[in-house]
Amino acid sequence: EAGVTQSPTHLIKTRGQQATLRCSPISGHTSVYWYQQALGLGLQFLLWYDEGEERNRGNFPPRFSGRQFPNYSSELNVNALELEDSALYLCASTGNLYLTRTEAFFGQGTRLTVV
């Protein structure tokens, strides 16, 4: 079974540009979570999508946004990039059965570097 896949693996952008990160969940999973893993700050919750809707949002500015497509894949967009946006962005998916609902399966991440 294919795991959560993220693309690209690495992304280098200039300050002020926009970045788009993509995530494909495990087949059958409907929920997608995005986390930012900045150096020394652990995993910070960004966004949660389920069934195409944004369900929850972390304490990040509006220039962090995203969407979920009908096939449950997701996109994270970061506008007006700032140097401190440099981090590893992780995507996770969860299933829709109660027993597996809260077990999150993570992708390898996209390393975003803003220069």
Partner 1 sequence: AQRVTQPEKLLSVFKGAPVELKCNYSYSGSPELFWYVQYSRQRLQLLLRHISRESIKGFTADLNKGETSFHLKKPFAQEEDSAMYYCALFPPGAQKLVFGQGTRLTINP
Contact positions vs partner 1 (CB under 8 A): 3-4, 33, 35, 41-43, 45, 48, 50, 55-56, 58, 90, 92, 102-109
What span, in angstroms and rounded, lies between the C-alpha atoms of 29 and 39? Answer: 29
Residue with smaller CB distance to partner 1, 32 or 81 = 32
CB-neighbour burial class of residue 60 (10 A; exposed 0-12, middle 13-18, buried 19+): middle
Q: Please tell me the distance from the alpha carbon of residue 47 to that of residue 64, in angstroms, as a whole number.
A: 9
Q: For partner 1, which is the closer residue by CB, 108 or 113?
A: 108
Q: How far is the CB of 32 from partner 1 (least distance, A)?
A: 12
